[in-house]
Amino acid sequence: MKKSLLFIVLVLFLGSCIKDIRDTIEKGQKLSGIQWNPTIAVPLVYSRLGLQDVLNEVQDFEYVRVEADGSLTLVYADEYESEIAENLLILDDQSYGETFTLDALQLNTLNTSGTLVLTYNRTLGHLFGANEIDKIWYKGGTLLLNISTTLEHDVAFKITIPEAKNNRTSLSETVSAIYTIAPNTGSSTIPLQDLEIDFTKTPQTYSEMDVELEITITKKGSNSLKPTETVTFDMQLLSQNYSKVTGLFDVLDFATPGDSFDIGFFENSQSGTSTIADPRIKFILKNSIGIPLATSITRFEGTNTDNNRVSLIGVPDPLPIPIIPNSEMWTTQVDSFELNKNTSNLADYINNRPASNYYKIDVKTANTGSDRHFLLDSSKVTVRVEIEIPLEGTAKDFVLESSQPFSLELENPDQVKEILVRLYTENGFPADIATQLYFEDSVSNTVLDSLIIGDILILTSANVDGNGKVNMINPKTTDIVMGTANVLRITAANRIRIKAYFNTLKENGGNQPDVKFYDSYDFLLQMGVQAEVIIDQDL
């Protein structure tokens, strides 16, 4: 664990230093006044980095938390979102209509007085499968009203829905069919936006609304009246979009495909072993679905870079998703729980170094009998997963590798007689590091050369006190010489691979106690290059 942090430092500086060596050589080749076999010494890097500076180069964690004692905890997080209600509970279009036939008495009244007013009361149902609708708050949709008549006279059709209100005003709409030529028709379109319809005011108490119909017929000149005259209305509720809805709902499946996230801390690990002393995982549950839920995590597994997989055990089933009481309708409720090494197999899960993590959550509404509930258009469940990795534990022969593009372009590489790279380090971390850099051809996937002869120790662990905390830093100087043959090989490379082995300190007897990493720990690296070249040029 701790070692991966130091490995990041090497990647940052050794990778960039090779470019600086190239730049230095190129500059040296162009210097005036150089006749033969000069020596050029140039400092490349001076940097002192604290632990948080190193961690900030790893961009995939959520944040680094500094604990009260100064130790550090990495937090990786992912957030699952279920499907939202408006994509699951889709209101069916509704269609209503009726034809009214005028009887002889009504025709006579119209003929003698010139005007006839007819009124009707109807109850219209809102049909939606097994669901029972109590109230809808609309954010969109259309009420389409059409009339047609056999009468060659003017007709005004008025519909009033007392329980369909906008700002407490009941919906009332009049459609006119002014006769000019058959067929005699009229239509009107009313937006449903901002309308609220209460479907509970009929004896059934759900999925019905009372409407009041008024037909006013005005005789037009000497136009005839046929023995049979009719007025027909057709009304439709189309593309109904709700912001809120209440009622009794059939089972809804809010589940979405599984989610995955990576833990970059483990992504580059190749072999060896490491342990995290006290990992934790927290689940933060948010619910805005106003129906009790049956929710469970059906899979939660982590896979390391060797493709070894461990499933997380100990997650509550069902998940304790908070229930929203009707007294707190339209709110979002939050709950959480935490797993640790004592309540689950989290220690085994984390110490498998799960670079890749996958989980799947089932979210369904429960069958609640005749209880009434609510949904918002945006109602959903979110589960935030936070994996906390305290930087405390052990590492034994723990290997990290990283590759990156590489290019060393020299106009006349055979003129380079010798390059000396000097590394001066002060390691303020309680871990030993042995490292090697390989120059490779990515096309043939072969190693062309290496920077160091053998895997030699570059960074000696700092000394620690009886509590395992650093109390003395050990400096080290390392020189690496590269001759002409080496330079020719590395100029053919297009990739550099850095490999590092890490070990935390051992006690007498060979045991490796857990080691903590603190915010105060830092690392000093100085690097210089000395190049001896042969220049053959006119001055």
Please tell me the least confidently modeled range out of 217-226, 399-408, 438-447: 399-408
> What pLDDT does 305 receive?
87
Q: Is the confidence at residue 357, as pLDDT, over 50?
A: yes
Contact of 496 with 406, CB cutoff 8 Å = yes
Using DSSP, state whether 51 is helix, strand or coil: helix
What percent of the chain stands above pLDDT 70?
80
Q: Is the confidence at residue 25, as pLDDT, over 60?
A: no
Q: How confident is the model at residue 519 (pLDDT cuts 50, 70, 90)?
A: confident
Q: Is the confidence at residue 130, as pLDDT, over 60?
A: yes
How confident is the model over 151-173, as a mean pLDDT? 96
Choose from 33-37, 188-192, 534-538 the range with maximum mean pLDDT.
188-192
Q: Is the confidence at residue 41, as pLDDT, over 80?
A: no
Q: How confident is the model at residue 40 (pLDDT cuts 50, 70, 90)?
A: very low
CB-count exposure of residue 411 (10 Å: 0-12, 13-18, 19+): exposed
Q: What CA–CA distance (Å, rounded) separates 156 from 313?
A: 70
CB-count exposure of residue 333 (10 Å: 0-12, 13-18, 19+): middle
Q: How confident is the model at residue 275 (pLDDT cuts 50, 70, 90)?
A: confident
pTM of the model: 0.73
Contact of 527 with 17, CB cutoff 8 Å = yes
Q: How confident is the model at residue 491 (pLDDT cuts 50, 70, 90)?
A: confident
How confident is the model over 378-399, as a mean pLDDT? 87
C-alpha distance from residue 199 to each of 127, 136, 209, 248 (Å): 11, 8, 5, 12
> What pLDDT does 14 receive?
35
Q: Is the confidence at residue 19, as pLDDT, over 60?
A: no
How confident is the model over 207-233, as a mean pLDDT? 96
Q: What CA–CA distance (Å, rounded) separates 471 from 468?
A: 9
Q: Is the confidence at residue 88, as pLDDT, over 60?
A: yes
> What pLDDT does 534 receive?
47
> What pLDDT does 454 receive?
64
- Residue whose tokens read 């906390």: 388
Higher-pLDDT residue of 57, 259: 259
Q: How confident is the model at residue 403 (pLDDT cuts 50, 70, 90)?
A: confident
Structure tokens belonging to residue 254: 């809010």
> What pLDDT does 395 receive?
74
How confident is the model over 116-143, as a mean pLDDT? 96
What percent of the chain stands above pLDDT 90?
52
> What pLDDT does 456 receive?
65
- Residue whose tokens read 């290496």: 450
Please tell me the least confidently modeled range out of 51-60, 206-215, 220-229: 51-60
Q: How confident is the model at residue 535 (pLDDT cuts 50, 70, 90)?
A: very low
Our CA angle for 33, 35, 36, nearest 5°, is 140
How confident is the model over 452-463, as a mean pLDDT? 72
